[in-house]
Chain A
Amino acid sequence: MAVDTLDFEEPVAVLLKEIEALSMLPRTEQRAGEIARLQSRADEIRGELYRMLTPWQRVQVARHPNRPYMLDYVERLFTDFQELHGDRRFADDGAIVCGTAVYKGTPILAVGHQKGRDTRMKVKRNFGYARPEGYRKALRAMKLAEKFRRAIIVFVDTPAAYPGMESEERGISEAIALNLREMAVLDVPIIVVVTGEGGSGGALGIAIGDRVMMQEFTVYSVIPPEGCAAILWRDSNRKVDATDALKITAPDLLGRGVIDSIVPEPNGGAHNDYDGAARLLDVALERALREVSALSSAERLDLRYQKFRDMGRLGLDFADASPSVPRADA
């Protein structure tokens, strides 16, 4: 996945172009050595850049066209993947994929958003914008997992739920809302990982679980930065300011108790090394699944409830200013 570089990766892009030019020439010992040297220099610079990404740069990485999508992880982490199509009500939504698979010898259900890679697939996947039938398919598949006592692994990567007329006509609000309610009490382990864009209700609609993790350079937001800038700054060009203000990066959200952990990405981001990204995700998934599976049903459901119950913490995010109540000035 070489030459697609982002604007802030310019120093890397320059080196990659040099490497490309050298590779065109007849191969010599000396040139091979030079290429290797440039390559390691490029990796080094990339590492430095990615250690200090600004929030807006993280948005760019999360939206990177080469970013691995759900099916790239399915292929690397699971075997025997069998896709389950359709909500049995209206249609099959290509923007959400569900399927049974085997993870380390145990059957699981995989659910996630899927963006398309080329133009044809992008259209088929509706650019990762799911419609009501996508959320309904997800719930149907998750109830199947519950019935047969199989854990669920969810991959979240969507700009938003599809804001079109048919979404409203077919009840996108109801579809998302029902998932929020039912996933809260679904009696099997659910592990959620944000692998790209956590786009507001469209993300949350499949993102209720016992563990919610984010990959290192992903974002999770109530509104796209451009939309927030357009409304509050009345200027969508203020997206960088809006991104800073919204606090949507993985470290921000870990600090605020919205997520449980951050899954590291390989040098230069997941799009730079699919296998490396999958290996790092594998470690986190296995551990989360082991911990959650060790709990009894009752414990797991209580903890899941408490986890979302605690979104917004007394004394930190809100306070009780009643005179009779001691002020929580932590």
Chain B
Amino acid sequence: MAWFKREKRPMAPSVEKPVRVPEGLWIKCPDCSEILYNKDLAANLHVCPKCAHHFRVSATDRLRSLFDGAWEEHDRELVSLDPLGFTDTKAYRDRLTTSYKATGQRDAVIVASGRLDGLDTEIAAMEYSFIGGSMGVVVGEKITRGIERAIARRCGMVIVSCSGGARMMEGTLSLMQMAKVSAGLARLDRERLPYISVLTDPTTGGVTASFAMLGDLNIAEPKALIGFAGPRVIEQTIRQKLPEGFQRSEFLLEHGMVDAIVDRRQLKAAIASALRFMLPSRAT
């Protein structure tokens, strides 16, 4: 249930290569090899204008693409205290410090309130560059507080997943975050308030097996890897190669697990219309 990278060999997060668009002026699309000007790509929400390849985006860029304007970030300074005192080949504390420096974030999710197409909305956006977007106690706490705020404010909740799953370095406590967030979503559900789950590349492990699959609508970005077990684990179990496209968004749509696949450039509009369907109509 740990996070697994898309690449063949699972690697420790510290050696992970940056998967977002790098800082240079130009970038080559990995799908169609088109050379793209970075600013144009950003203006197109990091979607290749030629082939619609969806580049991975940061949590901040994600919020910028969904909120109408400014947003209020919550619990920005919640930090893990390394509850297990975990050390593998490297101390978890050092991995955390490395990730703070690399991302400017304290953990792998930003949770914020703002307006989405005029509607008050809570949005949690996961940050893959922070230890593979893995979920530990801070991610679980911030998202749960977000859900509780949505209940208090009678507004919709949106969670944009981008995560390898539960964070091994926080052990069973990270597993329990699945239960914690899902309990929050149970209350949101019983309050008849909307929850939109957006699944982006990658969404795997304990994140998929909890809040990512619990949306009133589950919306996937095109060609995202979405699954429970990592592809390598499955291949080891069945001792054969997985077919092309296995665990991709289109596969999940075909198997009835997501409501829709939506291009990032239409995502905000899709969420807005879903929220309007779900929120009580204003008494006039």
Contact = CB atoms under 8 A, between A and B. Distances in A.
B123 interface: no
Q: Which of A201, A242, A258 has the most CB atoms of chain B within a 10 A radius of its CB?
A: A201
Interface string B1-45: 110100000101000000000000000000000000000000000
Interface in B211-254: 211-214, 227-229, 233-234, 237-238, 242, 246-247
A222 B228 contact: no
B77 A177 contact: no
Interface stretch (B56-64, B83-91, B111-119, B269-277): B83-91
B227 A168 contact: yes
Contact of B186 (A163, A185, A222, A232): A185
A230 B168 CA distance: 12
A188 interface: no
A170 B84 CA distance: 35
Contact of A312 (B2, B166, B176, B187): B176
Interface string A264-301: 00000000000000000000000000000000000000
A181 B214 contact: yes
Contacts of A242: 88
A176 B229 CA distance: 13
A162 B237 CA distance: 9
B242 A177 contact: no
Contacts of A311: 137, 140, 173, 176-177, 179-180
Interface in A147-198: 160-165, 167-174, 176-178, 180-182, 184-185, 198
Contacts of B84: 245-247
A314 B206 CA distance: 22
Interface string A296-330: 00000000110011011011111111100100000
Contact of A184 (B87, B182, B255): B182
A163 B230 CA distance: 8
B2 A222 contact: yes
B228 A232 contact: no
A49 to B, nearest CB: 25
Contacts of B209: 161, 172-173, 176-177, 180, 201, 205
A204 interface: yes
A223 interface: yes
Contacts of A213: none
Nearest to B79: A321
Q: Which of B86, B136, B170, B172 has the most CB atoms of chain A within a 10 A radius of its CB?
A: B172
Contacts of B187: 185, 305
Given A256-B172, A312-B140, A201 B238 contact: no
A234 B83 CA distance: 23
A246 B168 contact: yes
A317 B179 contact: no
Contacts of A232: 12, 88-89, 168-169
Nearest to B231: A168
Contact of B138 (A169, A256, A318): A318
Nearest to A253: B172
Q: Which of B77, B182, B206, B242 has the most CB atoms of chain A within a 10 A radius of its CB?
A: B182
Interface string B47-73: 000000000000000000000000000
Given A222-B2, A228-B2, A312 B175 contact: no
B104 interface: no
Contact of B178 (A162, A201, A258): A201
Contact of A200 (B1, B75, B179): B1
B129 interface: no
B175 A317 contact: no
A8 interface: no
28 contacts: A164-B238, A167-B228, A173-B228, A176-B228, A177-B209, A177-B211, A181-B189, A184-B182, A200-B166, A201-B206, A220-B175, A221-B175, A222-B167, A223-B168, A227-B2, A230-B10, A233-B88, A304-B183, A309-B180, A312-B136, A312-B173, A312-B180, A314-B141, A315-B81, A317-B81, A317-B173, A318-B137, A321-B77
Listed from nearest, the 6 A-B pairs whose CB atoms lie closest are A312-B137, A163-B229, A180-B182, A311-B176, A232-B88, A184-B183
Interface of B: 1-2, 4, 10, 12, 75-81, 83-84, 86-89, 106, 136-138, 140-141, 144, 166-180, 182-187, 189-190, 205-206, 208-214, 227-229, 233-234, 237-238, 242, 246-247, 255-257
